[in-house]
């Protein structure tokens, strides 16, 4: 590590580990403290409105997010890293079997192509920690700890937070990016960037216009209860008829707001999944398929529950036949209740 020219050293280190960009913020940065206080007030108000739905962990984690100086008491600096994990790359692979041409399909968000982004980001940050030298105490977080990642990235000048609450970065100009943080016990020189975003959110609103459920509203907090990603990933219970109809053919996540963020993605890079395979294959086979994949977070039962909803939205004879098979063969009361709900 070169402290005398730390900015150049950090940029080179970022390239070497395959990151998109890296910033370094001192934990005593007054702007960081101000932004965290402001954001915590907004999040508290949002939670009071119960817009977080079933994500009760957000309430439990709020005190730790509000006070990173207590959560990471050893930390004197934080390195904030952005990386794409091949999001938007047509060559990125996924573990799901190729469906037949006449298969009944549901779709998984394009960000799920490639390796689990948690693992990718952690590997990069562990490399960065090693490059800092020995005798450095550090903690790696990639959406795995109570941290305002997007806030840290925006304070570091790596991007701005769009109407869809995702980070937009300067040269990509879109939200197809992940964030990781490395909290370290060393007083490192600050490296703060200036985000230059083409097509400012205030003059665009493409994500707002393309959100089919109204979860995204310009200048307003996101109503997670209406968000397709929330409904397909986070909601454990059955989906109401209105919620079911809103998710369309999504099994896991949603690309509606990210694909239109400039520069718009024209190619459909969603992951197609054969619904018959998802419902009829042994659960152990599916668990092996999604092992170390982001869809493992939802698990087999929730993916199958979403498959039932997608089939009901199709309203075709083959879809009805598969639904009937699922009802007669499923061992899940949740799936059976979802089939019978409407």
**What is the per-residue DSSP string for 27-89?**
TT-HHHHHHHHHHHHHHHHHHHTTTTTT-THHHHHHHHHH-HHHHSTT-SEEEEEEE-TTTT-
- Domain residue extents for the chain: 6-92+113-198, 206-340
Task: Give the active site residues.
Answer: 143
H or E, element range at 324: helix 317-329
pLDDT at residue 259 tops 50: yes
Q: What pLDDT is stored for residue 89 in this prediction? A: 74
Q: What pLDDT is stored for residue 173 in this prediction? A: 46
Averaged confidence pLDDT in the chain: 94
CA atoms within 13 A on the CB side of 244: 21
**Residue 123: band (very low, low, confident or very high) from pLDDT cuts 50, 70, 90:** very high
Third-level CATH fold of 6-92+113-198? NADH Oxidase (3.40.109)
pLDDT digits (tens, 9 = 90+) for 236-257: 999 999 999 999 999 999 999 9
């Amino acid at each position: 590590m070169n402290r005398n020219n730390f900015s150049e050293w950090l940029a080179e280190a970022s390239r070497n580990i395959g990151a998109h960009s890296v910033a370094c913020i001192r934990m005593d940065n007054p702007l960081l403290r101000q932004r965290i206080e402001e954001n915590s007030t907004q999040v508290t108000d949002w939670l009071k409105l119960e817009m977080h739905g079933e994500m009760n962990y957000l309430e439990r984690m709020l005190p730790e997010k509000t006070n990173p100086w207590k959560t990471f008491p050893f930390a004197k600096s934080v390195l904030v890293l952005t990386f794409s994990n091949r999001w938007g790359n047509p060559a990125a692979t996924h573990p799901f079997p190729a469906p037949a041409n006449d298969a009944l399909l549901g779709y998984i968000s394009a960000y799920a192509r490639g390796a689990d982004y948690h693992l990718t980001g952690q590997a990069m940050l562990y490399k960065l920690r090693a490059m800092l030298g020995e005798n450095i105490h550090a903690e790696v977080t990639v959406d795995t700890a109570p941290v305002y990642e997007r806030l840290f990235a925006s304070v570091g000048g790596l991007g701005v937070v769009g109407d869809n609450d995702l980070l937009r970065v300067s040269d990509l100009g879109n939200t197809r990016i992940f964030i990781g943080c490395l909290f370290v016990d060393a007083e490192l020189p600050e490296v703060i960037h200036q985000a230059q975003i083409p097509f400012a959110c205030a003059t665009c609103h493409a994500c707002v216009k393309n959100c089919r459920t109204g979860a995204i509203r310009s200048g307003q907090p996101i109503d997670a209860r209406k968000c397709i990603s929330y409904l397909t990933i986070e909601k454990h219970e059955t989906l109401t008829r209105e919620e079911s109809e809103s998710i369309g053919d999504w099994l896991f996540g949603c690309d509606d707001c990210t694909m239109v963020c400039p520069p718009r993605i024209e190619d459909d890079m969603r992951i197609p999944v054969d619904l018959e395979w998802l419902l009829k294959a042994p659960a152990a086979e599916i668990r092996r398929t999604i092992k170390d994949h982001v869809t493992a977070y939802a698990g087999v039962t929730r993916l199958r529950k979403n498959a039932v909803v997608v089939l009901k939205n199709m309203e075709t004879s083959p879809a009805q036949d598969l639904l009937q098979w699922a009802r007669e063969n499923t061992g899940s009361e949740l799936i059976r209740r979802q089939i019978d709900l409407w």
